[in-house]
Amino acid sequence: MEQLEQYRIAENLEQDLGDPSHPESVMSFKTVMELDEQEAFPEQELTWLYNWHLQDYYVPANCGGKFTNFEEFLAIVRVLSRRDQTTGIAFTTLFWSFLCWMAGTDAQKQKLSKFIIEEQGALCLGYSEREHGSDLVNGGLTATKVSGGYILNGEKWPINRATRSGLSFVLARTGEEGEAKGLSLFMVDKRELDSSNYYNLPKILTHGIRGSDMSGIGFSDCFVPDSMLLWKEGDGLELGLKGFQITRTFCAAFSQGAADTALKTTLNFALKRIVYNKTVWELPQPRKVLTDAFLDILICDCETIGAARGFSVVPEQFSVWAAVVKYFVTRQLEQMVNDVYVVLGSRFYMRDEHDYGIFQKVLRDNSIISMFDGSTVVNLHALILQFRQLTKTRQRRKPKTMSAIASRLETTFSLQKPAPNFEPTKLELFGRGADDSLQGLEIALTQLEELKGNPEVDSEMLEKLIALSNLVLEELNAHDEAIAQSKFEFGHEQSPELFEIAKKYCALHAAASCLHMWIYNRQLLGDFFAQGEWLVLSIHRLLRTIRPMPYSISETYSENVANELVRLHKSDKLFSIVPIQLAQSIIKQEDKINELIRI
């Protein structure tokens, strides 16, 4: 399979970083574990990334950077995070710059672009507060209007990179407490403040990402000029929530990087460890656990890569899609990491016994991702509030509507099609009932029926796939009925039943995304992807979380997926539907050179 152009930068970064299992590589497992033991901030690693000019890919091309599309960006962050989430998260606070790219003036954009690219500046986001958490509208930090600017008073906590960042996006109350229009967003440049009027809060000791600058910032009668206000006074909450649609989606890349490392180091152990006169891998239960973990990664790939492209095609639908990705992908991969550690046995808990102890660091670090930028409850609640409109829209679809959805689905999921430019002004606080991925499920079923008799598609696999896809549609219809019968009201006091319904919706959304990804890339992503056995197992795996299903659907399919997992591992490829080439170990490079010499 020829590498897709949008993945070349990630592959280049991967090669330049080198094999993380080699102690001398940049961000090697040995190095990041030593930093973790010391709870040390990864200063040298971040400097290396700045010197590589990774920061350029956080700035849009029309603002002087190299950012082109979210699909490329997702792959970059994934490569970074498979080595160390602490470093990946610390560097990627730069993506809060999208608040400025969305709503800033030309002068603000120019200033921020220079700050990031030339001055190698760092950013942070101050939304939450110690006393209010995610209850943003009742935040206590105030911004009082005075001549030429505002006076800030109050604290924001906790904040990643609060102390070390030169620029902070701060949400402050400019109106009445509890009013949606009572908040404004400021792009606060600490270099331009009177140092006696702001202060940094102490570093927070954390369970994972121990080396992070997790702290906070406080203001005491601190003057900020009007030029630091983003957009307009009173529009801070709207801008902030739209910014979450971007950042919630790309939190998935942190989880994807961690999942790759967790599976890779566990598989490496299973292939070498001998018990009962066999390798651990040869034992049925460990092999099943690791194969299921591989399926989880492929499922989450389809959901996240589809979303990354969807930003450019249907940005107005991301109040729904971003919430699905943030809940489903981060939780699914968090559970995956917890599932595979049983294969390592006691070594998962040891800090230096296997691969420098990287697994236990991944286990700790990755557990926070599902809490970033809105917890699982926050994201499920965001979905619940839109279910009525989603259900009504699906019921009202007409042939013309379906034709438009089909066209958008192809642009969204076909990886060989260029995605249009992202237009942040099209982001909406509520998606107006649109969700192409699930509302186009019948389109996918029609496309599957049309593949009958195609000599390139195995008829037995296709029959299973159609049967499972019809079950997905059946569950979607049951979802609509459940919403119609529910005692739904707007507000925060939703029933536990609705949260369970929202979880099922996310699983159905993932199943639909897998279908669309396969349909539009069947002839693009290689033989394993095209054969579709992984897809049958993936949809079966998702349905088992929703309804009673047979434990296994095909032992042959499972064995073939297991063999592909080992093949990717031995070929130093990323576990992905787009398996980019990973940096190879020095030993493997020397083996290849010796082989060429013998030839």
pLDDT at 597 over 60: no
- Helix residue ranges, H only, 137-235: none
Instruction: Identify the domain containing residue 92 by its residue range.
Output: 5-117
Residues 64 and 85 in one domain: yes
On whether residue 437 sits in a domain, the answer given is no
* Final residue in a domain of this structure, among 179, 205, 230: 230
Residues 108 and 130 in one domain: no
pLDDT at 596 over 50: no
On whether residue 193 sits in a domain, the answer given is yes
User: In angstroms, rounded to a whole number, what is the distance separating the alpha carbons of residues 93 and 83?
Assistant: 17
Are 507 and 546 in contact by the 8 Å Cβ rule? The answer is yes
Which is nearest to 310 in space by CA: 473, 435, 202, 225? 435
Mean pLDDT, the chain, rounded, equals 94
Band of pLDDT at residue 546, cut at 50, 70 and 90: very high
pLDDT at 210 over 70: yes
Model-level pTM? 0.95
- Which DSSP letter does residue 371 get? G
Mean pLDDT along residues 24-41: 97
On whether residue 34 sits in a domain, the answer given is yes
* 266-289 per-position pLDDT tens digit: 999 999 999 999 999 999 999 999
* 315-369 per-position pLDDT tens digit: 999 999 999 999 999 999 999 999 999 999 988 888 888 899 999 999 999 999 9
Band of pLDDT at residue 593, cut at 50, 70 and 90: very low
User: pLDDT at position 81, please?
Assistant: 98
Which is nearest to 69 in space by CA: 283, 258, 340, 315? 315
Band of pLDDT at residue 559, cut at 50, 70 and 90: very high
CATH of the domain at 179: 2.40.110.10
* 492-541 per-position pLDDT tens digit: 778 899 999 999 999 999 999 999 999 999 999 999 999 999 999 999 99
* Final residue in a domain of this structure, among 198, 230, 262: 230
pLDDT at 214 over 70: yes
Which is nearest to 153 in space by CA: 191, 111, 186, 120? 186
Band of pLDDT at residue 178, cut at 50, 70 and 90: confident
Does residue 185 sit in helix, strand or coil?
strand
Band of pLDDT at residue 484, cut at 50, 70 and 90: confident
pLDDT at 10 over 70: yes
Residues 131 and 75 in one domain: no
On whether residue 534 sits in a domain, the answer given is no
On whether residue 413 sits in a domain, the answer given is no
Residues 85 and 160 in one domain: no
Structural domain total, the chain? 2
User: pLDDT at position 348, please?
Assistant: 83
User: In angstroms, rounded to a whole number, what is the distance separating the alpha carbons of residues 98 and 136?
Assistant: 19
On whether residue 178 sits in a domain, the answer given is yes
Region at 345 (left for phi over 0; alpha for psi -120 to 50; beta for the rest)? left
On whether residue 599 sits in a domain, the answer given is no
% of the chain beyond a pLDDT of 90: 88
**Residue found under tokens 């599902």:** 370
Residues 224 and 195 in one domain: yes
Half-sphere exposure of 102 (CA within 13 A, CB side): 28
CB neighbours of 49 closer than 8 A, spacing ≥ 6?
A: 55, 80, 87, 91
User: pLDDT at position 488, please?
Assistant: 65
Please give the single-letter amino acid code of residue 170: V
- As given in the structure block, the two tokens for residue 224 are 């900020």
pLDDT at 35 over 80: yes
Residues 112 and 11 in one domain: yes
Peptide bond into 315 cis (omega under 30): no
Measured distance between the N- and C-terminal CA atoms of the chain, rounded to whole angstroms: 25
Are 216 and 156 in contact by the 8 Å Cβ rule? The answer is yes
Band of pLDDT at residue 419, cut at 50, 70 and 90: confident
User: pLDDT at position 136, please?
Assistant: 92
SS3 content of the chain, % helix, strand, coil (to 5): 60, 10, 30
Band of pLDDT at residue 588, cut at 50, 70 and 90: low
* Final residue in a domain of this structure, among 212, 230, 248: 230
Are 64 and 57 in contact by the 8 Å Cβ rule? The answer is no
* 56-113 per-position pLDDT tens digit: 999 999 999 999 889 999 999 999 999 999 999 999 999 999 999 999 999 999 999 9
Residues 111 and 155 in one domain: no
User: pLDDT at position 585, please?
Assistant: 64
% of the chain beyond a pLDDT of 70: 97
User: In angstroms, rounded to a whole number, what is the distance separating the alpha carbons of residues 542 and 31?
Assistant: 37
- Measured from the Cβ of residue 456, the count of other Cβ atoms closer than 10 Å reads 9
User: pLDDT at position 177, please?
Assistant: 86
Which is nearest to 245 in space by CA: 306, 171, 312, 321? 321
CATH of the domain at 30: 1.10.540.10
User: pLDDT at position 486, please?
Assistant: 82
Give the total residue count for the chain.
599
Residues 76 and 135 in one domain: no
pLDDT at 180 over 90: no
Residues 82 and 25 in one domain: yes
User: In angstroms, rounded to a whole number, what is the distance separating the alpha carbons of residues 580 and 47?
Assistant: 25
Residues 38 and 87 in one domain: yes
Residues 112 and 127 in one domain: no
On whether residue 39 sits in a domain, the answer given is yes
Mean pLDDT along residues 125-142: 93
Residues 19 and 99 in one domain: yes
Higher pLDDT, 372 or 454: 454
Half-sphere exposure of 297 (CA within 13 A, CB side): 29
